[in-house]
């Protein structure tokens, strides 16, 4: 019998994209709730408890409520796309390429928290350098990023696409998270293996799907001997043996006049770049992804497939 999958929040932005990715798959059975009943708690509870894997694409509070609904049912495994459980040690963090054994952890887990879109880029750049001892304790990491507006879900999509919306946004690019307390900071700190919270400055551009995450570094404040080449080599070594996170060769990066935020739109992969001038004392690490691809729905399907393979 095909395993049953229920996407709670299937009519939202992340849920819809997961459904699109699962269309035509015969190895799983999708349980579904009509859109008009999407907030019907009794129906959701029933579906959640009938599933082998429940994928939660809900705001944090609703995710916590859904997890409560299956807490007594060990047959249901959960992938949560919200922020609610990302630094909870009882949950496996759903970034399979983050460490050599992370895919195995996800495969064996009952509870998997899907990473945030920005943290996927930031952790993808930072963690290998912490693990290799290149980024020392106390380094003041900054993370600057731009996301496609689908990152803000149905509400931000309406504000960006509908000029008659009462809170319509006309800006082609805007900064937010200005108090520097964005909900992704704890996740970047914990899974980035940082001993000091990064300064995180997010922004949104007038494009639907795509993301650039930047981590600029001063080489003379890193562990002695760190160079653009050694940082690149550490990233290449960390991501060897898989093809979802790729590290762009230095020669290729050097030839690029610009980085296009929507280059990976519709893809579930992530590209990492090391920019700078050989011999100079600064580098800019850049991650490029689709906020709804490797940043959300693509990662959720990848995690589901790992769990189904257990
Ligand atoms: N969009 C992105 O790029 C990313 C999103 N995420 C996370 O994924 C989750 C979903 O986000 P996203 O898809 O963007 O959001 P959306 O607002 O687009 O979709 C959320 C869905 O959940 C439904 N919902 C809200 N509250 C409840 C409830 N109490 N019971 C049942 N259903 C409910 C909404 O219904 P209604 O229409 O009635 O509000 C909607 O269908 C969030 O936690 C988000 O932070 C994570 C990474 C990236
Ligand atoms: C553009 C935009 O608004 N982005 C969202 C984050 C999207 C995301 O990654 O969702 P999680 O918070 O569940 O991880 C934000 O900044 O709140």
What pLDDT is stored for residue 167 in this prediction?
98
Question: Quick one: residue 24, left, alpha or beta (phi over 0 = left, psi -120 to 50 = alpha)?
Answer: left
Name the residue at shortest CA distance from atom 15 of ligand 2: 152
Q: Is the CB of 156 under 6 A from ligand 2?
A: yes
Architecture of domain 4-115+296-308 in this structure: 3-Layer(aba) Sandwich (3.40)
Residues with Cβ within 8 Å of 257's Cβ and at least 6 positions away in sequence, in order, are: none
- pLDDT tens for the chain, 310 residues: list them: 899 999 999 999 999 999 999 998 999 999 999 999 999 999 999 999 999 999 999 999 999 999 999 999 999 999 999 999 999 999 999 999 999 999 999 999 999 999 999 999 999 999 999 999 999 999 999 999 999 999 999 999 999 999 999 999 999 999 999 999 999 999 999 999 999 999 999 999 999 999 999 999 999 999 999 999 999 999 999 999 999 999 999 999 999 999 999 999 999 999 999 999 999 999 999 999 999 999 999 999 999 999 999 7
What pLDDT is stored for residue 56 in this prediction?
98
Q: Is the CB of 154 under 6 A from ligand 1?
A: yes
Residue 171 C-beta-side C-alpha neighbours within 13 Å: 12
Place of tokens 């993370």: 143
What pLDDT is stored for residue 187 in this prediction?
98
Q: How far apart are CA 81 and CA 42, in angstroms?
A: 21
Domain extents in the chain: 4-115+296-308, 117-291
What pLDDT is stored for residue 2 in this prediction?
96
Q: How far apart are CA 223 and CA 4, in angstroms?
A: 49
DSSP 187: H
- Let me know: does 274 contact 250? Beta carbons within 8 Å: yes
Q: Is the CB of 303 under 6 A from ligand 1?
A: no
What pLDDT is stored for residue 34 in this prediction?
96
Quick one: which atom of ligand 2 is closest to the CA of 187?
14
CATH number 3.40.50.150 given to 117-291: no
Residue 33 Cα to ligand 2 midpoint, Å, equals 25
DSSP 259: -
What pLDDT is stored for residue 224 in this prediction?
95
DSSP 204: E
E strand or H helix at 92: strand 92-93
Q: Taking Cα atoms as reference points, which of 12, 7, 81 lies closest to residue 299?
A: 81
Residue 199 Cα to ligand 2 midpoint, Å, equals 16
- The catalytically annotated residue of 56, 76, 117, 134 is 117
What pLDDT is stored for residue 1 in this prediction?
87
Radius of gyration of the chain (CA): 20
Name the residue at shortest CA distance from atom 19 of ligand 1: 12
What pLDDT is stored for residue 52 in this prediction?
98
Q: Is the CB of 38 under 6 A from ligand 1?
A: yes
Quick one: which atom of ligand 2 is closest to the CA of 82?
13
């Amino acid at each position: 019998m095909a395993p049953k999958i229920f996407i709670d929040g299937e009519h939202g932005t992340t849920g819809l994209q997961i459904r699109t990715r699962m269309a035509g798959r015969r190895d799983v059975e999708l349980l579904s709730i009509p859109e008009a009943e999407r907030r019907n708690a009794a129906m959701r509870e029933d579906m959640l408890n009938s599933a082998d894997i429940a994928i939660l694409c809900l705001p944090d509070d609703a995710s916590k409520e859904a997890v409560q609904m299956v807490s007594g049912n060990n047959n249901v495994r959960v992938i949560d796309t919200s922020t609610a459980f990302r630094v909870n040690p009882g949950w496996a963090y759903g970034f399979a390429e983050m460490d050599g054994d992370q895919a195995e952890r996800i495969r064996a887990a009952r509870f998997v928290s899907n990473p945030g879109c920005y943290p996927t880029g930031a952790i993808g750049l930072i963690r290998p350098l912490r693990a290799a001892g290149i980024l020392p304790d106390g380094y003041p990491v900054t993370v600057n990023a731009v996301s496609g507006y689908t990152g803000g879900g149905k509400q931000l999509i309406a504000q960006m696409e509908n000029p008659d919306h009462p809170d319509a946004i006309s800006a082609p690019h805007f900064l937010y998270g200005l108090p520097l307390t964005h909900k992704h900071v704890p996740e970047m700190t914990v899974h980035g293996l940082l001993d000091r919270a990064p300064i995180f400055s997010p922004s949104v551009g007038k494009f639907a799907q795509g993301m650039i995450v930047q981590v600029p570094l001063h080489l003379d404040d890193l562990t002695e001997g760190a160079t653009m080449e050694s940082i690149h080599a550490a990233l290449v070594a960390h991501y060897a043996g898989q093809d979802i996170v790729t590290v762009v060769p230095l020669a290729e990066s050097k030839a690029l006049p610009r980085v296009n935020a929507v280059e990976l739109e519709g893809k579930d992969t992530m590209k990492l770049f090391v920019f700078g001038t050989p011999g100079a004392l600064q580098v800019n690490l850049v991650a490029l992804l689709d906020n709804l691809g490797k940043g959300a729905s693509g990662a959720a399907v990848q995690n589901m497939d790992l769990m189904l393979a257990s």
